[in-house]
A and B are shown apart, each in its own frame.
Chain A
Amino acid sequence: MKIKIELVASCQVGLFETKIQDYSIQPTVRQIINDVGLANHKGVISLINGVHAGSDDLLSNQDTLTLLPLIDGG
């Protein structure tokens, strides 16, 4: 299955902005975070098709996973 992965702001650094990744079985959000190299990033916001998702949520074919850095006011 094909999953579109979008990285926003500092999540893109050294990585990419958007890419399509193939998976043979449904990946979790956590798995994709590890696969793209953000496992050591200091926290990310995860959205599946624009909706907040948890680390153990599964993605389906044609889903878009958007990963954004944690933000704070100031």
Chain B
Amino acid sequence: MRTYTTNPVADPKSVLYQRCTIHLASKDIKLEDIACRNLEDVLGGFGRSFQMLAEREITEAYSEDNPLIMNTGLMTGTKLMTGLRTFFSAYSPLKKSKKGFPAAMWSTGSGKFGCKLKWTGLDEVVFEGRSEQPVYILLSKGTDGPQIEIKSAEKLLGLTTHEKIMALQKIYNDAHFAVIGPAGENYQSVTMGAIALSTVNQLKSKQDKSRFAGRGGMGSLMGYKNLIAIVAQSEDKIEVTSPELKKINKEIIKGGTSTKFQPIAQGGGGGTWANYDVLQSFHAVPENNFWPRGDIRPNSLLRKHVQENFDIISEGCYRCAIRCQNNIHRRNEDGLTGEFLAKFDYEPLNLLGTNIGIMDGAQVGELIHATDNLGMDAISIGVTLSYVLDYNERHPEAPIFNGANFGNFEKIMELLVQTGHGELADIGCGVMQLSEKLGETSYAFHVKGLELPAYLPETNPGYVFAITGGHMSMRTSTLLAREGDTSLDSWVKAITGPGLIYVGSDLLGTCKCIGLGMDNPMLIEAIKAETNLQIQPEELVAAVRRAFLRGLKLELKQGYEDSEFTLPAQVLEKPNTNVTLPHFVTPDFLTELKKRVWAILEPEMAAL
């Protein structure tokens, strides 16, 4: 990116980003400097990509007109802690309106790939069309600017995500990688394919410690395009960290904003795993397809019990001292730390654990491990599997697939592996299509076609307005547990205010665990220190807001109707009294909430 102004709000066109467009069929490659249209373009991420997607008329995700846009945020590759994110945006093969049109989505992940990409000199790569043969793209920093090569990926086909990364690491020094697994390769029967991003830890330890851009099937879209992997090769940008940024990074660690995500040994909350303990206090940990039973069975997956038999190593991404990752290793007979099993984040831990009736840490670890290596989104596969198990429980006389039930590890693993290899399209294409095919939709836990994360929908009506992952694009998933407020006013305020501004990090390129709000002076100062751009807090908030609303507008453009802005019917028809959080989401509440939220958002959307 080149900047010829310090005021990107008044003069965005004086900020130019470098885009590479690769036409995979013709192998044409175009490099261009593009002037930013607005602050959202400057900030990057989905703020920029959704403006491009809005210009396209896309009725099928698997079409040559559907671009896969890979970009970074303004702060990716800078020295601001967590400035690591890569974004993948497109019309999703998984999330669709009832009219059948794909929704625009983005997915994001950390590791070091984003930095390496940024340091090639590229801010954005657009993959157009599809290649006839399986290929991978090499993006590197040349003496005269970015170099782009298209290479055969025949030898990578069929490998797991980790195997692909290890194979590419042998060929390319000073590089990081974005790859798909067998799931993405089998895109026709798996629309929930994820993209695995390599990490420093992974390349050094040779353990499968990737990060994932999991949501929305971006890995499946790569598979459709016959784009099997992307290599970003560049020297590390080593510069002296300014005193201002050192102070900000220190404050991020010591000042409390990221404490929740830091290791317990560091005085932190231990990452999102801590959500388990808190939600279990309310019997709100999803069990057996989002139906907590009000007992202590989920306790076996509380950290304090898992660590009785496993070693938990807190690790972090490149240059990140937050160390939010809880990596579970088996313990050898001699008491020493053994084989790496899986990373326990709240979502996969629950959705491949208690929510499918699995209460054993080792089994959950193996399911997560398989999901990651096959390259599937843990949330989507977990929720679709929990639906299958629920269906089988309701229909013992005529179960589907292998008749798996909640808690049956062997049969669940069989389904997961078969799905990841493209053998079970009815599972691989997500819970909305499966439940509609079976004619039983009330307990299919999706909203607007995207499987829900591990927060009970009866505790979070904000899901209805999320524009991508339910908990990462609307900050209301833990609101009820935190505050206990059930008033309509508070929910309208949360959704139309801080809830939607949560996506700010998905423009900037930082992780949400940084804990800095978009109006935090430290963030403004960090932007100035690293880019020399001066942005006022209210300008940043306004840009994030516009980006979000553009996303909501895109949903309407893709045919979503009011009836689809709702929660799974079971939640509204049959409240679970085992959950001790207040029950407040009734059909009337939801109707009134939507009316008031739309009344605020629609005029703003019309003005875009």
Chain B residues with CB under 8 Å of A66's CB are: 281
B497 proximal to A (CB < 8 A):
no
B483 adjacent to A52 (CB under 8 Å): yes
User: B580 and A50: CB pair below 8 A?
Assistant: yes
Query: B466 → chain A, closest Cβ, in Å?
Result: 11
A20 at the binding interface (Cβ < 8 Å): no
Contact B261 A71 (CB under 8 A): no
B434-472 residues with Cβ-Cβ distance < 8 A to A are 453, 455, 471-472
Residue B521 lies at the interface, judged by CB distance under 8 Å to chain A:
no
CA distance A18 to B386 in the complex (A): 35
In contact, A42 and B277 (Cβ under 8 angstroms) = no
Check if B268 is an interface residue, CB within 8 A of chain A.
yes
* A72 vs B284: C-alpha distance when bound (angstroms): 14
Count contacts on B: residues with CB < 8 A to the other chain: 37
Q: Are B346 and A74 in contact (CB under 8 A)?
A: yes
Residues of A within 8 A of B268 (CB): 10
Do B513 and A9 touch (CB < 8 A)? no
Map CB proximity to B onto A57-72 as digits: 1 under 8 Å, 0 otherwise: 0000000001011111
B181-213 vs A, CB cutoff 8 Å, 1 = contact: the mask equals 000000000000000000000000000000000
Residues of A with C-beta under 8 A to B267 = 13
Which residue from chain B places its CB closest to the CB of A68 in the assembled complex?
B278
**B484 contacts chain A at the CB level, 8 A cutoff:** yes
Cβ A71 vs Cβ B256 within 8 A:
no
Which listed residue, B278, B282, B471, B484, touches A69 by the CB 8 Å rule? B278
Most B CB atoms within 10 A — which of A13, A42, A47, A72? Answer: A72
Q: Give the nearest-CB partner of B259 in chain A.
A: A42
Inside 8 A of A13's CB, which chain B residues have their CB? 264, 267
Contacting pair B256 A42 (CB below 8 A): yes
B481 near A74: Cβ-Cβ < 8 Å:
no
Q: In the complex, A74 Cα to B268 Cα: how many Å?
A: 15
- Identify which of residues 42-59 in chain A touch chain B, using a CB-to-CB cut-off of 8 Å: 42-43, 45, 47, 50-52
Q: Is the CB of A74 within 8 A of B261?
A: yes
The answer to whether residues A69 and B260 also contact, given A10-B269, A74-B471 and a CB cut-off of 8 A, is: yes
In the bound complex, do residue A51 and residue B484 qualify as a contact, i.e. CB atoms below 8 Å apart?
yes
Whether a CB of chain A sits under 8 angstroms from the CB of B163 is no
Distance in Å from the Cβ of B157 to the closest Cβ of chain A?
33
CA distance A50 to B481 in the complex (A): 11
B419 within 8 A of A: no
Q: Is the CB of B264 within 8 A of A73?
A: no
Collect the chain A residues with CB atoms within 8 Å of residue B580's CB.
50
Residues 309 to 366 of chain B near chain A (Cβ within 8 Å)? 324, 345-346
B478-A52 in contact (CB<8A): no
Point out the residue from B278, B281, B472 that lies within 8 Å of A74, measured CB to CB.
Answer: B472
**Contact string against A for B residues 468-493, beta-carbon threshold 8 Å, 1 for contact and 0 otherwise:** 00011001011001111100000000
Pairwise interchain contact B278-A8, C-beta atoms closer than 8 A: yes
Which residues does chain B contribute within 8 Å of A68, judged by CB atoms? 277-278, 281
Q: What residues on B are CB-neighbors of A47 within 8 Å?
A: 281
Tell whether, in the assembled complex, residue B278 and residue A45 are in contact, meaning their CB atoms are under 8 Å apart: yes
List the 6 closest pairs (A to B, CB-CB), nearest first.
A52-B484, A9-B277, A73-B471, A73-B477, A42-B259, A42-B256
